[in-house]
Amino acid sequence: MKQQGAVVWFSGFSGAGKSTIAEALTEKLKSEGYQLEVLDGDEVRENLTKDLGFSKEDRDTNLRRIGFVAKLLARNGVIVLAPVISPYRAIREEMRANIDNFVEVFVNAPISVCEERDVKGLYKKVRAGEIKQFTGISDPYEPPTNPEVECRTDLEEISESADKIFKKIKELGYIS
Amino acid sequence: MKQQGAVVWFSGFSGAGKSTIAEALTEKLKSEGYQLEVLDGDEVRENLTKDLGFSKEDRDTNLRRIGFVAKLLARNGVIVLAPVISPYRAIREEMRANIDNFVEVFVNAPISVCEERDVKGLYKKVRAGEIKQFTGISDPYEPPTNPEVECRTDLEEISESADKIFKKIKELGYIS
């Protein structure tokens, strides 16, 4: 399959469904023979950003490192999926300015829905006061103003969300 | 051109000629149409490891981050050149164990020759006491015991060194 490198950047609350959609999209792309990498939180944090916390500055540094790696991969023809909360608009715009073929996906669900899901048990810890800085509760989240794709995960199925992104990447000419 | 991903890891003193050989090899590979990335000190330090100093622990972390990125690129078919001092044997062996198609290049010149060249003016700073931890003078360097290629940059031309590595990569089947 013909492909260009591209970076699909998933922004949204913890529990909004970023990684789950990235997984579904991975399946779909792989089944059609495309080459991709998922820069998911755990592997990246272990290997690139173990030293960082969750202050604004540390979050920005974290995202800049992910962006740097994503850019290197993308300019070598790889489709990169980056499911990362990335709450601040300025840093996402910086990524967009620095990276060719940048696709911003807003993974959107009301915070109450995300908290109800609480897949990783993090919201419980926030409410218990064990986590201080938490996006959407005690820390800001600045929603994308003009994302290439918006997925309303409280209203649509995971497969619908993945399909929307797949179609957008195709429409943009990054896959054929 | 047909290529496999591979990581060419240049180890040696500051001033031994790692970056210069990597540049010559880059020219040669590009002129034949191969796809590659150079993970050179400055760009990497700016983007991935700004926080790190030169203690053994920090050096190891630095190399692990470079290794992680190199691995991601190589497994997507890119030839990665990494000119990095990497003084400690154990971390280089860790890279070898973790990365497929790992090619260790020992860029070797006597420290006196490197100091005489002093391309970056660093040896002068060391002698003036402005730099404390410096590989080969006040910090250890553990030479590779079994590198795929050794370049004696005090005895051979840059182009000879680059050719030797090119031939080795070919012999190993990473380029055709």
Nearest CA in chain B to A37: B72
**Minimal C-alpha gap between A68 and chain B (Å):** 7
Strands (E) in B93-141, as ranges, are 102-108
Active site residue A176: no
In chain A, what residues touch B38 (CB-CB under 8 Å)?
A: none
Query: Is residue A1 pLDDT above 70, yes or no?
Result: no
* CA dist., res. B10 & res. A36, Å (int): 28
What is the pLDDT at residue B43? 79
Token pair for A101: 């073929």
In chain A, what residues touch B69 (CB-CB under 8 Å)?
A: 48, 69, 72
Answer yes or no: do A77 and B72 touch at CB < 8 A: no
Among residues A11, A14, A19, A86, the one annotated as catalytic is: A86
* pLDDT tens-digit map of B33-84: 999 999 976 778 888 888 888 888 988 998 999 999 999 999 999 999 999 9
The alpha helices in A15-103, defined as continuous H runs, are: 18-31, 41-47, 56-74, 89-98
For chain B, 176 residues long, give each residue's pLDDT as a single digit of tens.
Answer: 689 999 999 999 999 999 999 999 999 999 999 999 999 767 788 888 888 888 889 889 989 999 999 999 999 999 999 999 999 999 999 999 999 999 999 999 999 999 999 999 999 999 999 998 899 999 999 999 999 999 999 999 999 999 999 999 999 999 98
Task: Delineate the domains of chain B, giving CATH numbers in brackets.
Answer: 6-171 (3.40.50.300)
What is the pLDDT at residue B1? 61
What is the pLDDT at residue B55? 86
Q: Which of A72, A78, A81, A94 to mutate to test the interface with B (most CBs of B within 10 A)?
A: A72
Positions of B marked active-site: 86
* pLDDT tens-digit map of A111-160: 999 999 999 999 999 999 999 889 999 999 999 999 999 999 999 999 99
Nearest CA in chain B to A52: B51
Determine contact, residues A22/A81, Cβ cutoff 8 Å.
Answer: yes
- Residue A113 CB partners (closer than 8 Å, separation 6+): A15, A153, A154
Categorize the per-residue pLDDT at A11 as very low, low, confident or very high, splitting at 50, 70 and 90: very high
Answer yes or no: do B77 and A76 touch at CB < 8 A: yes
Rg over alpha carbons for chain B, rounded to the nearest Å, is 16
Query: Is residue A45 pLDDT above 90, yes or no?
Result: no
Nearest CA in chain A to B67: A47
Determine contact, residues A126/A14, Cβ cutoff 8 Å.
Answer: no
* CA dist., res. A123 & res. A134, Å (int): 8
Answer yes or no: do B37 and A69 touch at CB < 8 A: no
Answer yes or no: do B76 and A78 touch at CB < 8 A: yes
Answer yes or no: do B72 and A37 touch at CB < 8 A: yes
For chain A, the helix, strand and coil percentages under 3-state DSSP, each to the nearest 5: 45, 15, 40
Nearest CA in chain A to B38: A72
